[in-house]
Amino acid sequence: MRYLPKSPADRRAMLNSIGVRSIDDLFAPIPAEYRLNRDLKVPRQMAEAEIVDWFRERSRETGADYAATFLGAGAYYHYRPVIIDALISRGEFLTAYTPYQAEVSQGTLQAIFEFQTMISELTGMEVANASMYDGSTAATEAVMMAARLSRRHSVVVARSVHPEYREVLSTYAAHQNMPLVTLPYSESGQLDLKDLERAITEQTACVLIQSPNFFGTIEDVAAVAELAHRKGALLVVAIAEAVSLGILEPPRPADIVALEAQSFGVPLGFGGPYCGVIATRFEYVRQMPGRLVGQTTDRKGKRGFVLTLATREQHIRREKATSNICTNQALMALMATIFMTVYGKAGLRELAKQNLAKAAYAAEQCGKYAKVLFPNAPRFHEFVVETSEDPRAINNRMLGHKIVGGLPLKKFYPELGHAALWCCTEMTTRTAIDTAAGFIAESERSVKSAPEADAEEVAR
Amino acid sequence: MKHPTPKATRHVSRNEGLIFEKSSPGKMAWKLPPLDVPDVDAQKLLGASRRTDLGNLPEVSGIEIIRHFTRLSTWNYAIDLGMYPLGSCTMKYNPRVNEMVARLDGLANAHPYQPEKVSQGALRILKTLSECLLEITGMEAITLQPAAGAHGELTGLLMVRAHHQAKGDPRKKILIPDSAHGTNPATAATVGYAVENLKSNAQGMVDVAALSAQMNEEVAALMLTNPNTLGIFEQEIHKIADIMHAKGGLLYMDGANMNALVGKVRPGDFGVDLMHLNLHKTFSTPHGGGGPGSGPVAVQQFLEPFLPRPVVIAKPDGTLGFDYDRPRSVGRVRSFYGNFGMFVRALAYIFANGPDGLRQTTEDAVLNANYIRQGLEAAYDLPYPTPSMHEVVFSDKLQAKQGVRTMDIAKRLIDYGFHPYTTAFPLIVPGALMIEPSESESREELDFFIEAMRSIAEEVEEDPEMVLAAPHTTRVSRLDEVAAARNPVLRWKPKG
């Protein structure tokens, strides 16, 4: 077997020096009745070329040749500078373990320290951790952190937070005696501040909002923070689109920010691995979950970095830890660090501005033929289009032209049955936008000329 | 150094500051294509939400970025450089074909919400990997959603809770052996369970009599690592399962040490009700300096209704799809479908091995651990003489007489060209040296390791001070962790 560095003679010699006759003697502790005396029924050993072929075929079946996508909704298609994979493919990063042994892990540790710094700068927070699994678990752990900090239990959640983030939160909250109060979105797509004011009580640990929210609309973070803080509740802001931070004021009045940094150089990869991260105020750091890297000095006074404040963590505190998280998303955090370094201060602003411009143009084009919902609030690069026809039917027709249309919202918001969430990034070409808008125009024309058409039927 | 090591030699190591210290306004490493739509006035569109200050993000050029991160990388030890004998971490070879196939366009750029008809290849990967893992574990249903081992534990315990609640019998406690990973009790607490410790017996295994006495109708499950963290197979596993089941409890297996079992024995055959796997351990996906991992949870059929949403199903027309209509599901544990990129790598690993390769891998892993055990038994205290599987745990009892502890020996090992083993764990062995070589080490590398460890044992007798001051060859000497925690500096700030 090509991954195993031993000859049959090596194995014999090793068995001899151990003093056993056969390898089976080493498996004697396993009760005989449970030992597997047959081959596993998995595919036979394949040559490298066969493996590559098999996966190439799967890649072709997964839209490898698609021209454009208008999907966003928490997973964003941005350009990934080539330098990212060149650097993260270095075995010293790729094949290293968690940097517990600081003297032989300074590379990873310094890179994480740089990550923590950049995320702090971008989110407007004082400190960030070394990463969480993804945006949904970061938001959930941020809420649990807020409950520990405030010593309160109830949570107010905006319905405009990513539906899957809310699902994860409710999975965890069910076992933490944590009632969730979900607030509707208003005409503007934002949280209604009057609803919010009524919902926050003396038991409210925190308010969880997302900005830009699931509909792409920017929330009034300062106003929400004011209402939360007035009653002693904390504000947790989830950010699913990290690139927005290049042009949107970060949620500085928030107490905790839960960020999904996938947009920073992490491939879409059918949903994972991604890069969650939690950022907060310095005074809250001891209730923060996840690993943290800190600066220190060695015995000769030289600067170096270590994992620190480990008394928050499971390997020290066991059932009293702030979280059960151990393995995080270190390599994705490295991708994000390199991405932020490539674009830097000026590039990230320009990148964000291109996203803003593409979406503004697309919304304008779509708005000529169909209704763009929530028109009165500012948005970043996503917008909701309501059509007369079921958007799944329109999307089906676009698929024939290798274009993936916006996300039909019916699954998450039944009341928005004919609406879809569209996203444009710097990767979306004007041609693709014009083509997609053309499909919407055609759909509206045909619905108006043939009111009997059964959209549901086409959608199937 | 007692004996000059054949493994390592000094070489020039480049100094490198923080990236922020290289930054200066106007340097850049990016260029965007010309905007093909009308430009916008951000102030007009965003008003008060427009950001004016991006803080201290660095401004540097491409060559500086390459050199910065390349220099940092040279300060890391890695499996690509040599043996990485961390116990219970299974640091094995990370095949590069896995990386290549994970980067194929259709897979790397697949959006999680793209229509199912455009996702058939990705769904096929989910399904094929699921089938392989079920065959390997001997279980009946699986979720790939959890993002890491601890996340798998959480998912498993949520299902345990759902199972008992469905029977109208919510239980309060989880039993956890004193040798367990810290994630086990932390997870139990997250799911709202009380944790009760279970003492190990003199052989380093679950004390079956104690388990019998502690097991009652309040206990929801036992979380058992098998082989346990001493590298010992729980030889009375069938009795353990029977005791749990007789009183309505479940047997949860932490699959961190599955590298000792693949192709030789299946947890589903010895009474396990549910378990998680670590694709980043047993199935060769790279650790990446601390992640990503992937922690699928495999269960017996009676737990299938509780699997997280969604699950992959075959539709009547033969295509694959996601089923969200799962009313008894514990819910979601993360967004989308899990760490898909790791599924691609793990499946490529299974393909490269086949049934014969997987079995040989397990045999070599166990052979390597026993070879090290035999080689070091004379130099280090072996607290539990019970046969070892894929890892072996010594203690620093002999060296402690000279004031040298496991961490000191570990740091000295760095000077010999090795990454340290796991120190001070499991907690039931005072001063533990937990060594797991994995199957990826040649006889030559193992001999170097044994020689290095023996040499350090001699050094401890002759010059303990020198060992206490190790490592001597790294670019930084031992770092002040106390100062780091007392006065945390968690980010760079500009001077002034």
- Is residue A460 over pLDDT 60? no
- A216-231 pLDDT, tens per residue? 999 999 999 999 999 9
A302 to chain B, closest Cα gap in Å? 7
Average pLDDT of span B174-190: 94
Of A298, A317, A340, the domain-final residue: A340
Q: Measuring CA to CA, which residue among A244, A233, A275, A240 is closest to residue A257?
A: A240
- Is residue A259 over pLDDT 90? yes
Q: Residue A351's closest chain B neighbor by CA?
A: B32
> Same domain, yes or no, for A318 and A354?
no
- Is residue B496 over pLDDT 80? no
- Is residue B237 over pLDDT 80? yes
**B287/A56 CB distance under 8 A:** no
In chain A, the number of structural domains is 2
Does residue A228 form part of some domain?
Answer: yes
Six-digit token string for A74: 């928490």
In chain A, the percentage of residues whose pLDDT exceeds 90 is 91
Q: How confident is the model at residue A452 (pLDDT cuts 50, 70, 90)?
A: low
Q: How confident is the model at residue B11 (pLDDT cuts 50, 70, 90)?
A: confident
Average pLDDT of span B173-187: 94
DSSP-derived secondary structure for B236-260: THHHHHHHHHHTT-EEEEEGGGGGG
**A316/B182 CB distance under 8 A:** yes
Q: Count residue pairs from A and B with Cβ separation < 8 A.
A: 685
Per-residue confidence (pLDDT) for residue B2, from 0 to 100: 56
| Alpha carbon distances (Å) from B193 to A217, A319, B161, B221 | 39, 10, 9, 10
Chain B partners within 8 Å of A174 (Cβ)? 331
Q: Name the residue ranges covered by the structural domains of chain B.
A: 98-350, 357-475
**B356/A39 CB distance under 8 A:** yes
B176 to chain A, closest Cα gap in Å? 11
Q: For strands A154-158 and A204-210, give the pairing.
A: parallel
> Which among B81, B110, B364 is the nearest to A4, CB-wise?
B364
Q: Residue B365's closest chain A neighbor by CA?
A: A4
Q: Residue B188's closest chain A neighbor by CA?
A: A319
Point out which residues pair with A307 in neighbouring strands. A293
Q: Mention every residue, 6+ apart, whose C-beta is less than 8 A from residue A316.
A: A310, B182
- Is residue B151 over pLDDT 90? yes
Beta strands in B139-214 (DSSP E): 141-143, 173-177, 194-198
> Which among A316, A324, A350 is the nearest to B187, CB-wise?
A324
Tokens 């990767």 found at: A427
Best of A24, A48, A101 to disrupt the B interface (most B CBs within 10 Å) is A101
Six-digit token string for B454: 């023996």
Q: How confident is the model at residue A369 (pLDDT cuts 50, 70, 90)?
A: very high
> Same domain, yes or no, for A314 and A267?
yes
Task: For chain A, give the mean pLDDT.
Answer: 95
Average pLDDT of span A279-303: 96
Per-residue confidence (pLDDT) for residue A458, from 0 to 100: 46
Per-residue confidence (pLDDT) for residue A314, from 0 to 100: 84
Chain B partners within 8 Å of A408 (Cβ)? none
Answering whether pTM is above 0.90, one says yes
Average pLDDT of span B58-76: 97
**A96/B77 CB distance under 8 A:** yes
**B186/A61 CB distance under 8 A:** no
**B51/A246 CB distance under 8 A:** yes
> Same domain, yes or no, for A329 and A396?
no
> Same domain, yes or no, for A125 and A269?
yes
> Same domain, yes or no, for A73 and A90?
no
Per-residue confidence (pLDDT) for residue A317, from 0 to 100: 84
Per-residue confidence (pLDDT) for residue A319, from 0 to 100: 86
Lowest mean pLDDT among A293-297, B10-14, B358-362: B10-14
Interchain CB contact of B495 with A (< 8 Å) = no
> Which among B74, B286, B488 is the nearest to A95, CB-wise?
B286
- A308-345 pLDDT, tens per residue? 998 888 888 888 888 888 889 999 999 999 999 999 99
Q: Under the phi-then-psi rule, with left for phi > 0, alpha for psi from -120 to 50, and beta for the rest, what region is B437?
A: alpha
Interchain CB contact of B260 with A (< 8 Å) = no
Tokens 């139990």 found at: B188
Of A307, A340, A373, the domain-final residue: A340
Average pLDDT of span B125-147: 98
B247 to chain A, closest Cα gap in Å? 23
Chain A partners within 8 Å of B54 (Cβ)? 121-122, 246, 345, 348-349
> Same domain, yes or no, for A113 and A229?
yes
Q: How far apart are CA B270 and CA B237, in angstroms?
A: 7
Q: Residue A434's closest chain B neighbor by CA?
A: B37
Chain A partners within 8 Å of B354 (Cβ)? 42-46
| Alpha carbon distances (Å) from A343 to A264, A332, B65, B272, B390 | 10, 17, 11, 50, 46
Q: Is A337 within 8 Å of A131 (Cβ atoms)?
A: no
Cα B217 to chain center, whole Å? 32
B213 to chain A, closest Cα gap in Å? 23
- B45-55 pLDDT, tens per residue? 999 999 999 99
Q: Under the phi-then-psi rule, with left for phi > 0, alpha for psi from -120 to 50, and beta for the rest, what region is B422?
A: beta
Cα B169 to chain center, whole Å? 33
**Is B97 exposed, middle or buried, given 0-12, 13-18 or 19+ CB atoms closer than 10 A?**
middle
- Is residue A453 over pLDDT 80? no
Q: DSSP 3-state assignment of B220?
A: strand
- B341-351 pLDDT, tens per residue? 999 999 999 99
Per-residue confidence (pLDDT) for residue A272, from 0 to 100: 95
**Partner A, chain B 182-241, Cβ-Cβ below 8 Å:** 182-183, 185-192, 195, 232-233, 235, 237-238
Of A295, A321, A340, the domain-final residue: A340
CA quadruple A310, A312, A313, A319: dihedral sign: positive
> Same domain, yes or no, for A278 and A241?
yes
**A433/B118 CB distance under 8 A:** no
Four-CA torsion B105, B107, B109, B110, nearest 10 degrees? 140
- Is residue A457 over pLDDT 80? no
> Same domain, yes or no, for A100 and A228?
yes
- Is residue B148 over pLDDT 50? yes
- B403-417 pLDDT, tens per residue? 999 999 999 999 999
- Is residue B191 over pLDDT 90? yes
Q: Where are the alpha helices (DSSP H) in B114-170?
A: 120-137, 149-166
> Same domain, yes or no, for A126 and A239?
yes
Length of chain B counted residue by residue: 496
Q: How confident is the model at residue B186 (pLDDT cuts 50, 70, 90)?
A: very high
**B490/A273 CB distance under 8 A:** no
Average pLDDT of span A91-97: 98
- B422-451 pLDDT, tens per residue? 998 999 999 999 999 999 999 999 999 999
- Is residue B270 over pLDDT 70? yes
> Same domain, yes or no, for A285 and A353?
no
Q: Measuring CA to CA, which residue among A39, A28, A37, A36 is closest to residue B265?
A: A36
Chain A partners within 8 Å of B104 (Cβ)? 55-56, 58-59, 64
Q: Measuring CA to CA, which residue among B115, B261, B108, B175 is closest to residue A84?
A: B108
- The DSSP code for B381 is B
Q: How confident is the model at residue A201 (pLDDT cuts 50, 70, 90)?
A: very high
B458 to chain A, closest Cα gap in Å? 22
- Is residue A196 over pLDDT 60? yes
Tokens 């699994």 found at: A133
Q: Is B437 within 8 Å of B446 (Cβ atoms)?
A: yes
Q: Is B125 within 8 Å of B98 (Cβ atoms)?
A: no
Q: How confident is the model at residue A459 (pLDDT cuts 50, 70, 90)?
A: very low
Q: Residue B86's closest chain A neighbor by CA?
A: A97
Domain CATH for A389: 3.90.1150.10
Interchain CB contact of B170 with A (< 8 Å) = no
- A380-399 pLDDT, tens per residue? 999 999 999 999 999 999 99
- Is residue B10 over pLDDT 60? yes
- The DSSP code for A202 is T
Domain B98-350, CATH: 3.40.640.10
Point out which residues pair with B200 in neighbouring strands. B206
- Is residue B393 over pLDDT 90? yes
CB atoms within 10 A of CB B377: 13
Q: How far apart are CA A345 and CA A299, in angstroms?
A: 36
Q: Under the phi-then-psi rule, with left for phi > 0, alpha for psi from -120 to 50, and beta for the rest, what region is A74?
A: left
In chain B, the percentage of residues whose pLDDT exceeds 70 is 99
Edge-first strand listing for the sheet containing B432-435: B392-395, B432-435, B422-423
Does residue A39 form part of some domain?
Answer: no
Domain CATH for A263: 3.40.640.10
> Same domain, yes or no, for A308 and A379?
no
- The DSSP code for B152 is H
> Same domain, yes or no, for A335 and A356?
no
Q: Considering the domain B357-475, what is its CATH architecture?
A: Alpha-Beta Complex (3.90)
**Partner A, chain B 397-426, Cβ-Cβ below 8 Å:** 410-411, 414, 419-420, 425
Chain B partners within 8 Å of A124 (Cβ)? 55
Does residue A38 form part of some domain?
Answer: no
Q: Residue A139's closest chain B neighbor by CA?
A: B334
A347 to chain B, closest Cα gap in Å? 6
Per-residue confidence (pLDDT) for residue A340, from 0 to 100: 98
CB atoms within 10 A of CB B81: 18
Tokens 């996503």 found at: A382
**A96/B288 CB distance under 8 A:** yes
| Alpha carbon distances (Å) from B429 to A106, B199, B384, B425 | 29, 13, 9, 7
Q: Residue B90's closest chain A neighbor by CA?
A: A97
Six-digit token string for B420: 């340290």
**A344/B89 CB distance under 8 A:** no
Chain A partners within 8 Å of B136 (Cβ)? 40, 42
- Is residue A451 over pLDDT 90? no
Domain region containing A359: 68-77+346-459
Per-residue confidence (pLDDT) for residue B1, from 0 to 100: 60
Q: DSSP 3-state assignment of A68?
A: strand
